[in-house]
Amino acid sequence: MPPRLRLPLLVLALAVAPSVWALDVSTKLRFESKYVSYGTKYAEETWAPMIDLSQGDYYAGIWGYIPTHPRKAFEGEWDFFAGRTLKLNPLVSFDFGATVYHYPRTAVDDTTLEGFVWVNLAGPLSPKLKLYYDFTVQNWIGELLVSHTVSLSQSTALVLTGQAGFRRPDHHDAWNYGTVQADVVYSINEKTTLAVGLRSTNNTDHDAVGHAVENWFGLTLARSW
């Protein structure tokens, strides 16, 4: 086994091994006309296969981002993550975990390790406060996420999402970003959904990735098993 894959697979195995016989499994196949992460665009048309595993308060998964036209600066990404949700009371819960990012054919920092903690609040807009720190590239990310679902029919809903946050690399000026998203989600059956939506983002970074408004669309086919 390649050494660079040992840590991601170990993290995943440790998260699911105690309860492997009672896992809930969900999969997604996404297509995004642009790949944007925390306000930064990395690629144009991108496929994103995803698998999520959970049992009780524990969860883990693998997410991939595969651009249809890779370029030298970004040829793809694989995320291996695991975490746990701790419920303080019916209104407040916390998530703790870690993600290993792997960037194929990248000469510098092809694998990085990031820790995360979230504060989840029940109630209107379901706000989530998220904080991440990448120990390899020494980068902080903080984000507020809110969402709201509007039922359109028995099988269709409109899901509205907003994100606002900051990125603060240790060796670069910090910048802010904001993203809004609207998806129409159609339930094909009890276990399968199809979503199509529009997204828009902006950031205040004038140096590293450029300051620009980005607009794009996305499709998601999801199924629980």
- Note the pLDDT tens digit of each residue in 38-75: 988 888 999 999 999 999 999 999 999 999 987 766 88
Per-residue pLDDT at 224 exceeds 70: yes
Looking at domain 3-224, its CATH class is: mainly beta
Backbone φ, ψ for residue 45 (5° rounding): -50, 125
SS3 155: coil
DSSP 17: G
- The C-alpha atoms of residue 199 and residue 64 are separated, in whole angstroms, by 20
Rounded to the nearest integer, the mean pLDDT of the chain is 89
Residue pair 45/33 in contact by the 8 Å Cβ criterion: yes
Quickly count: other Cβ atoms within 10 Å of residue 114's Cβ: 19
In this structure, what is the dihedral angle of CA atoms 70, 71, 73, 78, given to the nearest 10 degrees? Answer: 10
Q: What is the pLDDT of residue 10?
A: 56
Question: How many residues are listed for the chain in this entry?
Answer: 225
Per-residue pLDDT at 14 exceeds 60: no
Q: What is the model's pTM?
A: 0.85
Q: What is the pLDDT of residue 8?
A: 58
